[in-house]
Amino acid sequence: MKLVVGLGNPGAAYEGSPHNVGFAAADVLARRVNASFRESSRFRAAVAKGVLAGEPVAVMKPLTYMNASGEAVGAWIRWNRLTVADLVVVLDDVDLELGRLRIRQRGGSGGHKGLASVVLHAGSDAFVRVRLGVGRGMAAPGEDVVAHVLRPFRGAQLETATAMAERAADAVEAMIEFGVERAMNRYNTVAAAGEKTE
């Protein structure tokens, strides 16, 4: 079984915000596997189970709030006797322009507290992460990064973010079906407008 985790914050106040693009991608994946999220008090997460690209998959949205996301992930991994090789984490990245994807097979948190929590509770950083660009350059004049990632997308930004969530789901499906390297080759080079970048 693969565990695909979208990072975000629970609650209507955070819906549609840059910090919740991981949740948006998880919602897309749940629709694709024709499953509904069910809240689990054991794991403090909402989980949808199905089959993606022929592989059993659990799509998770931790309900612990972003900075404690790893608690839900670690509990699920231990309970189901998975390893970090079975884990894919989808999250926002302010250092990527809005609409860009970047798949990595391991690495540090890059200052992302939700990802740092997953690394801590999973006991390793050797898992795939799909970073979704939310561009600090998209912040309003004088707005700090924290305010930017918690402010809902609007207009053209929302359209780009919605398309990015769909493409993130495509990338997860591709890595399950064809492997991480092929998914990286395809999706790490695609920009928001769908054009190749240098």
Helices (H), the chain: 21-32, 69-79, 113-122, 145-150, 155-178, 180-187
- 60 close to 10: Cβ distance less than 8 angstroms: no
The residue with tokens 């008090």 is 41
- Rounded CA-CA distance 67/49 in Å is 24
Tokens of 82: 């998975």
List the Cα angle 168/112/153 in 5-degree steps: 55
Q: Which of 19, 112, 121, 148 is catalytic?
A: 19
Q: Could you give the 3-state DSSP secondary structure of residue 20?
A: helix
Pairing type for strands 38-40 and 2-6 reads unpaired
Is 19 labeled as catalytic in the residue annotation?
yes
CA–CA–CA angle 144, 72, 109 (5° rounding): 45
C-alpha atoms less than 13 angstroms from C-alpha of 82 in its C-beta half-sphere: 22
- Whose tokens are 């985790």? That residue is 5
Task: Indicate which residues carry an active-site annotation.
Answer: 19
